[in-house]
Amino acid sequence: MELVSPAGNLEKLTYAYLYGADAVYIGVKQFSLRSRADNFSGEEWKEIRRIKGNRKLYCALNISFHNRDLHRIEKEMEYLALYPFDAFIISDLGLLPLLRRWFPQTPLHLSTQANCTNWRAAEVYRDLGFKRIILGRELTLEEVAEIKTRLPDLELEIFVHGAMCLAYSGRCFLSAWMAGRSANQGNCAHPCRWNYRVLEEAERPGEYYPILETEGYTTILSSKDLCMIDHLTAIQKTGVDALKIEGRMKSLYYTAVVTRAYRKHLDALAGIPVKDLELYRQDVFRVSHREYCTGFYFGKAEVEEPAETIYREHHVFVGTLGEPCRPGLYGMDLRNRIEVGQPIEYIGPSVPFLLDNAFSLWDEDGNPVRAASHGQKVYIEPGVPVEPGYIMRKT
């Protein structure tokens, strides 16, 4: 099964590949459902061509296109042709003539926004020329398996990890109504995750009813996060071809840790020996997340239970290690404060973690420093063997 990871910018794409993704999906400019991500523009296609190798790259063009958008997207076709895309992810059938004219050999993947939830619909999309269907999160694994049994020549992709939408595969108008930001245009403000007070119960005029997700209260709107890392064997039995991680708006650290965990578990499922498999799994439960569930895959009971409002997080992302400027001394891209004497951990593509209590920090003039914060130009001399591309974190 192919592992498909998110990338909201070039740095996240680099780490998604480095930490085990078979394929990465990105948005270009303002034509994907994460238009508030950095997305890709300018000459970033050059760097993507350099690092992509034999891995896949998918372009999400899955907003709901209005008339005004059609002219804009047509003007971008020449720019899109610069990227080494292996498929386009779309939900709007109006793009078919345009993409077929410009990219006749590039496969089409049907976005989950198209709400394909049965084999008859999947068959129609296949006959229209789609190579892969990204199924809606509303399906059970049993339903997924039936679609694959009836259409064995059609590739199927399902989400296995990340945020879930209150609405049917993202078809929600709360954000557009309440914040003036259309979810279907890639600008969701996530109002389903806000806290509300609802006025008013008829027999108790003037009393507020709180809808909170803390102990003692229930929730109406907010959903849990999806996590299927413990159910990959069951997923494999359905015959699906690809597993997708949600999160183009999430951090580099989230992208790397979650991608790595699913990569290792898929390798183990394929019979490849993986040392410390449980440590990789544990990181999925330590990265920032809401309460996990299995969505609709085993029925809807879990979805109907209240979720907690808090995001759980066990580690703080400190930064990334760059290339060594001399043996044993590495550049850093700092995202949080680091202080000599405060232990940090390094993680790598195949290193669960390395604890370092003995690192030292140096400024650009070669002077020792005690601490540094986000944006500062400092160098680290680790107390343990490391490699470029490792991620630093602290508890």
Residue 110 clears pLDDT 80, i.e. is over it: yes
Q: Are residues 228 and 336 in the same domain?
A: no
Give domain status of residue 279, yes or no. Answer: yes
Query: CA-CA distance, 199 to 181, in Å (whole number)?
Result: 24
Q: Which of 304, 336, 359 is the last residue of a domain?
A: 304
Does a structural domain hold residue 189?
Answer: no
Of the two residues 144 and 313, the one the predictor is more confident about is: 144
Please state, for a pLDDT cut of 90, what percent of the chain lies above it.
65
Q: What share of the chain is helix, strand, coil (3-state, %, to 5)?
A: 30, 25, 45
User: Residue 31: what pLDDT?
Assistant: 64
In a domain, 190, yes or no: no
Residues 216-255: tens digit of each pLDDT: 334 455 578 899 999 999 999 999 999 999 988 889 999 9
Spatial separation of the C-alpha atoms in residues 392 and 356, rounded to whole Å: 10
Q: With bands split at pLDDT 50, 70 and 90, how would you rate the model's confidence at 283?
A: very high
Highest mean pLDDT among 82-86, 216-220, 308-312: 82-86
What tokens were used for 307? 């979720």
Residue 214: pLDDT band (50, 70, 90) is very low
Distance CA 135, CA 392 (A): 35
Strands 155-163, 242-245: pairing is: parallel
Does some domain include residue 355? yes
For residue 192, being part of any structural domain is answered with: no
Contact (CB, 8 A) for 73 and 31:
yes
- Find the range with the poorest average confidence among 109-113, 162-166, 316-320: 162-166
Please indicate, yes or no, whether residues 351 and 254 belong to a single structural domain of this protein: no
- Of the candidate ranges 6-20, 31-45, 57-71, 357-371, the one whose mean pLDDT is the lowest: 31-45
First to last CA, the chain: 33
What is the DSSP code (8-state) at residue 219?
-
Domain that holds residue 378: 316-394
Would the pLDDT of 130 be above 80?
A: yes
Domain boundary residue, one of 304, 333, 350? 304
> Residue 94 domain-assigned?
yes
Mean pLDDT along residues 137-144? 94
Q: What's residue 301's pLDDT? A: 55
Are 143 and 119 contacting, i.e. CB atoms less than 8 angstroms apart? no
User: Residue 215: its pLDDT value, please?
Assistant: 40
Q: Could you tell me if residue 163 is inside a domain?
A: yes
Q: What angle do CA 53, 244, 98 make, to 5 degrees?
A: 70
For the chain, the domain total comes to: 2
- Identify the domain boundary among 282, 304, 326: 304
User: Which DSSP string corresponds to 304-320?
Assistant: HSPPPSSPB---EEEEE
pLDDT (0 to 100) of residue 10: 93
Query: To the nearest whole percent, how much of the chain has pLDDT over 70?
Result: 79
What's the rounded mean pLDDT across residues 16-42?
77
> Do residues 299 and 375 both lie within one domain?
no
Could you give the count of Cα atoms lying within 13 Å of 152 in the half-sphere of its Cβ?
1
* Secondary structure (3-state) at 153: coil
Cα distances (angstroms) measured from residue 100 to each of 93, 121, 213: 11, 21, 47
CA proximity to 40, closest of 50, 49, 30: 30
| 153 and 287 part of one domain | yes
This prediction's pTM: 0.85
Q: Would you tell me how many other CB atoms lie within 10 Å of the CB of residue 25?
A: 27
| Shared domain check, 286 and 337 | no
Which range, of 7-16, 150-159, 282-291, 375-384, averages the lowest pLDDT?
282-291
- Residue 255 belongs to a domain with what CATH number? 3.20.20.70
Dist. CA 112–CA 135, nearest whole Å: 5
Name 326's Cβ contacts closer than 8 Å, sequence gap at least 6: none
CA distances from 268 to 23, 240, 369 (A): 19, 17, 43
pLDDT of residue 123: 98
Instruction: Place 62 in a pLDDT band, splitting at 50, 70 and 90.
Output: confident
Question: Are 386 and 296 in the same domain?
Answer: no
Using one digit for the tens of pLDDT, what is the confidence trace for 316-325?
999 999 999 9
Pair 94, 235 in one domain: yes
Segment 159-170 mean pLDDT: 76
Work out the average pLDDT over 151-159.
98
101 DSSP β-pair partners: none
Q: Is it the case that residue 131 has pLDDT exceeding 80?
A: yes
> What is the Cα–Cα distance from 83 to 58, expressed in whole angstroms?
10
Residue 30's contacts (CB-CB under 8 Å, 6 or more residues apart) are 39, 63, 72, 186
Same domain, 115 and 150: yes
Co-location of 247 and 353 in the same domain: no
Sheet containing 329-334: give its strands across.
351-356, 344-348, 391-394, 316-326, 329-334, 379-381, 360-362, 368-369
Contacts (Cβ under 8 Å, ≥6 apart) of 58: 4, 23, 24, 25, 26, 85, 86, 87, 88, 89, 109
pLDDT, averaged across the chain: 86
**Given this model, what pLDDT does residue 218 score?**
43
Question: If you average pLDDT over each of 22-36, 60-74, 158-172, 289-303, which comes out highest?
Answer: 60-74
| Residues 241 and 95 grouped into a single domain | yes
The confidence score (pLDDT) of residue 307 equals 53
User: Do 29 and 130 belong to one domain?
Assistant: yes
Rounded Cα distance between 144 and 297, Å, is 9
Instruction: Look at 24-33, 60-69, 333-342 and tell me which has the smallest mean pLDDT.
Output: 24-33
pLDDT of residue 372: 94
CATH number at residue 366: 2.40.30.10
Q: Give the pLDDT confidence score for residue 213 in this predicted structure.
A: 43
Write out the H or E segment, with its range, that includes residue 14.
Answer: helix 10-18
Residue 330, in any domain of the structure: yes
328 and 300 in one domain? no
